């Protein structure tokens, strides 16, 4: 495994547990949960003042492994590896970087696959519904545990961007800057519809059994695979799919006129579905997509302007030209509300052919913009 210059190298996943009974964490739904464990990783060093920290928030299928490798045998680094390290936009020579798996996740944090202390069995659908607000409040427990006094910035894309907005609203004095990327203040009807079709694919799998399955048994793999295939289409753009696949046939010279895999794009989507079931849980997919669907700042505060009224962060809002899942018009709604409230906000739509997933792909413009913005915040 060649390690690129500036990489954080070999990293370790850590765990923090809080909200032990009878002091369970109160959830937005009115329920309680405890104990709660968050899996997390850190890169760089916290300074003596405790104010050089940056929190990275992940998207639906992400986790705490944002950068580096777990061992020398790892083929793939963390999901935002090119952004984190010495001399990179999230410069570990300057900043203390934190990334945690959200509550409700399946990569070490307490979620549907965790053991219910009351039964000794996995929670499955006995796990309470969690929201973006709950995810952020759980992260605050971790940030306090790490003795961070103030966050230089909270940064994330897609569902991670929702968490960024929530951090700026819930903890205005604590967050110096916020960088929501490829996100929205509320999912539109089309987005909710795509999530529901994905959930229906899981429900239709005979192995789902109303959520009562075990990870070492027959899991609803086919349903989860189809859900991932559908979702992955929304993360791409027509331009990127045409460039990558077009109508090219898959290792054949002519159509089979049957139901085998004819086109390269079919093979690609099946690969995405099959690889996803090896690293994600079906019940977790249900819970996290519901949390995304429920997120609605204008509803919760009466208007988007009211939502940001007390925010004190400096904002950098980023969208991508080919993102049709969370299009630029939704980013502009956030920018408009912040400007109405007189907040410090910068905005940029980055030209990219890669659709919603563009923030996960190297882009010189995005990297320089974020690095410069963070440097100004740091200097101030």
Phi and psi torsions of 43, nearest 5°: -140, 135
- Helix (H) / strand (E) element for 161: namely helix 159-170
**Residue whose pair of structure tokens reads 């490829």 in the numeric block:** 182
CB 11 within 8 A of CB 70: yes
Active site residue 344: no
Q: Is the dihedral of CA 360, 361, 366, 372 positive or negative?
A: positive
Euclidean distance between CA atoms 61 and 55, whole angstroms: 17
- Helix (H) / strand (E) element for 369: namely helix 364-379
Query: Regarding beta strands 25-26 and 53-57, do their DSSP bridges make them parallel or antiparallel, or are they unpaired?
Result: unpaired
pLDDT in tens, 202-246: 999 999 999 999 888 899 999 999 999 999 999 999 888 878 777
Q: Taking the chain, what is the end-to-end CA distance rounded to the nearest angstrom?
A: 39
- Catalytic entry in 195, 225, 356, 357: 356
- Give the predicted TM-score (pTM) of the model: 0.96
Phi and psi torsions of 183, nearest 5°: -140, -175
Alpha carbon of 28 to those of 66, 297, 300: distances in Å? 27, 14, 12
Residue 352 buriedness (CB in 10 A; 0-12 / 13-18 / 19+): buried
Euclidean distance between CA atoms 344 and 277, whole angstroms: 42
User: What percentage of residues in the chain have a pLDDT greater than 90?
Assistant: 88
3-state DSSP call for residue 199? helix
User: Which residue ranges form the domains of the chain, and what is each CATH number?
Assistant: 14-192+297-379 (3.40.50.1820), 194-287 (1.10.1740.110)
Active site residue 376: no
Alpha carbon of 101 to those of 35, 109, 244, 294: distances in Å? 16, 6, 31, 19
Euclidean distance between CA atoms 176 and 171, whole angstroms: 10
pLDDT value at residue 1: 61
- Catalytic entry in 205, 323, 352, 357: 323
Euclidean distance between CA atoms 182 and 317, whole angstroms: 8
Euclidean distance between CA atoms 211 and 32, whole angstroms: 21
- Catalytic entry in 158, 177, 225, 319: 158
Euclidean distance between CA atoms 218 and 107, whole angstroms: 20
CB 344 within 8 A of CB 314: yes
Active site residue 7: no
Positions of the chain with pLDDT lower than 70, given as ranges: 1-2, 253
């Amino acid at each position: 495994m060649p390690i690129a210059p500036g990489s954080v190298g070999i990293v370790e996943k850590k765990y923090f547990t809080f909200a032990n009974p009878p002091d369970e964490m109160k959830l937005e739904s009115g329920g309680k949960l405890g104990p709660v464990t968050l899996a997390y990783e850190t890169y760089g060093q916290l300074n003596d003042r405790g104010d050089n920290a940056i929190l990275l928030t992940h998207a639906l299928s992400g986790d705490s492994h944002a950068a580096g490798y777990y061992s020398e045998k790892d083929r793939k680094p963390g999901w935002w590896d090119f952004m984190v390290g010495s001399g990179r936009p999230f410069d570990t020579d300057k900043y203390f970087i934190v990334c945690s798996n959200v509550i409700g996740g399946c990569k070490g944090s307490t979620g549907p696959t965790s053991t219910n202390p009351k039964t000794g069995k996995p929670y499955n659908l006995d796990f309470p519904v969690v929201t973006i607000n709950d995810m952020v409040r759980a992260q605050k427990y971790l940030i306090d545990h790490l003795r961070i006094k103030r966050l230089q910035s909270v940064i994330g894309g897609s569902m991670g961007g929702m968490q960024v907005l929530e951090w700026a609203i819930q903890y205005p004095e604590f967050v110096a800057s916020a960088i929501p990327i490829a996100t929205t203040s509320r999912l539109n009807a089309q987005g909710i519809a795509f999530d529901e079709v994905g959930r229906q694919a899981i429900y239709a799998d005979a192995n789902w059994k109303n959520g009562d399955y075990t990870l070492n048994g027959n899991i609803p793999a086919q349903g989860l695979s189809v859900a991932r295939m559908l979702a992955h289409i929304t993360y791409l753009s027509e331009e990127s799919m045409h460039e990558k696949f077009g109508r090219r046939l898959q290792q054949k010279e002519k159509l089979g006129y049957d139901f085998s895999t004819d086109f390269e794009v079919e093979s690609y989507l099946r690969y995405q579905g099959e690889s996803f079931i090896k690293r994600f849980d079906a019940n977790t997919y249900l819970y996290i997509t519901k949390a995304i669907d429920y997120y609605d700042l204008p509803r919760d505060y009466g208007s988007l302007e009211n939502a940001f009224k007390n925010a004190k962060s400096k904002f950098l809002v980023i969208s991508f030209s080919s993102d049709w899942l969370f299009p630029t018009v939704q980013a502009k709604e956030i920018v408009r509300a912040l400007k109405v409230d007189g907040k410090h906000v910068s905005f940029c739509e980055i030209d990219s052919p890669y659709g919603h997933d563009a923030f996960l792909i190297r882009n010189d413009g995005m990297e320089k913009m974020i690095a410069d913005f963070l440097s100004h915040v740091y200097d101030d």
